[in-house]
Amino acid sequence: MSNNNKSSILVLGIVIGGVLGTVTGILMAPRSGKETRRILKKSADALPEMAEDLSTTVQLQADRLSESALQNWNDTLARLKDTIAAGLEASQENFKGSQSSPSQITMDSVPPAKSPSGKQA
């Protein structure tokens, strides 16, 4: 079977299913057509207000999320600045300490390590 035939059968099935669903819905509807149209009109009239409420709710949630993300970013940035400052201070102290001590520590000036039995290695 070619793709064209498969597409035609699919479209025909959709059309037949739609017609059968519509007929079944009309025959099984618990309300009269007039009452159903009145309910649909009320729903359609309320739709803009519902959309506005939904839009407002989404905007409020987006604002809260944005504020929370900004606060988290600011906290992280402050911690990062503190960490960098502490690292710079420590490296400057280390640099100053290495410049002020005239003697260099060499392997010759370090005493030999002792083994666990107390004897020198």
Q: What is the pLDDT of residues 69-112, one digit of tens each?
A: 999 999 999 999 999 999 999 998 888 877 765 555 454 544 55
SS3 letters across the chain? CCHHHHHHHHHHHHHHHHHHHHHHHHHHCCCCHHHHHHHHHHHHHHHHHHHHHHHHHHHHHHHHHHHHHHHHHHHHHHHHHHHHHHHHHHHHHHHHHHHHCCCCCCHHHCCCCECCCCCEC
pTM: 0.40
What confidence category does residue 50 fall into, taking pLDDT thresholds of 50, 70 and 90?
A: confident
Which of residues 58 and 3 earns the better pLDDT score? 58
Which of residues 5 and 110 earns the better pLDDT score? 5
